[in-house]
Amino acid sequence: MANRTVKDAHSIHGTNPQYLVEKIIRTRIYESKYWKEECFGLTAELVVDKAMELRFVGGVYGGNIKPTPFLCLTLKMLQIQPEKDIIVEFIKNEDFKYVRMLGALYMRLTGTAIDCYKYLEPLYNDYRKIKSQNRNGEFELMHVDEFIDELLHSERVCDIILPRLQKRYVLEEAEQLEPRVSALEEDMDDVESSEEEEEEDEKLERVPSPDHRRRSYRDLDKPRRSPTLRYRRSRSGVDLPKEEEKGIGARAQDATEAGPEIDDTDPAPSPQVKEKP
């Protein structure tokens, strides 16, 4: 009686929800101590308290195929079949990472392909470490996003064969699902937009302001002053410009260096005086 599925439970993928777990593993869970002591009489509200006590994820381990508490609670949730809103709250819980992992596994087992992509893909941004127990009973470290990736792409997780999941691109082509945008692409877009803004700011700094242009045009329009001649008094007492005075001085110096000029013209004939007899 304690191992039967609730009466008002709906069939999942055309079968009893508990049948999603293999019979040999399901039998080992029913015979385990944790199932008999901790999972007896649990309701959807009490499962949350037990999920908060989880410290690792895993399937079965050891030669006797002992189930982990994580696997026992998964089967218990398949048995009582909590409402979808409760599972969504499990997935959105950021305080207890193992509660989130339990809700993600249950959603992958019972949810549609659209719900799996819709609620599980945002968990790719969760990089917290979690402990996982392997078949040998040893503990390994992994991350939340790794566990989510296994749920979406692997055939078996925690020793449970996962239902077949429809490919994402098929749902995108049917316009039932929007293309996924990773957090890395968003960061790259933010970096590119910030670089473009910096380049625009640099261009604005290089371009002079309109006031500066107006002042420069006014300066160019101002009439230039014509050069003024400065007069200097010469030796003769006449005021001459400096340039003309320099020209006179230069000509005088050239004349002294050249020496006296020789006149090659014939002298004028002197008048003859007649002597008286």
pLDDT digits (tens, 9 = 90+) for 159-210: 999 999 999 889 888 888 888 777 676 666 666 777 777 777 777 766 555 5
Domain ranges of the chain: 17-183
Q: Are 6 and 82 in contact (CB under 8 A)?
A: no
pLDDT digits (tens, 9 = 90+) for 7-29: 877 888 888 889 999 999 999 99
Spatial separation of the C-alpha atoms in residues 84 and 106, rounded to whole Å: 10
pLDDT of residue 155: 92
Q: Are 99 and 93 in contact (CB under 8 A)?
A: yes
Indicate the average pLDDT of the chain: 79
pLDDT greater at residue 72 or residue 4: 72
Instruction: Write down the number of H helices and E strands in the chain.
Output: 12, 9
- Could you count the other beta carbons within 10 Å of the beta carbon of residue 147? 23
pLDDT digits (tens, 9 = 90+) for 106-139: 999 999 999 999 999 999 999 999 999 999 999 9
Spatial separation of the C-alpha atoms in residues 234 and 242, rounded to whole Å: 9
pLDDT at 224 over 90: no
pLDDT of residue 202: 73
* The residue count for the chain: 277
Percentage of the chain exceeding pLDDT 70: 69
Using DSSP, state whether 152 is helix, strand or coil.
Answer: helix
pLDDT at 68 over 80: yes
How does residue 277 score in pLDDT terms, banded at 50, 70 and 90? Answer: very low
pLDDT digits (tens, 9 = 90+) for 43-53: 888 899 999 99
pLDDT of residue 66: 93
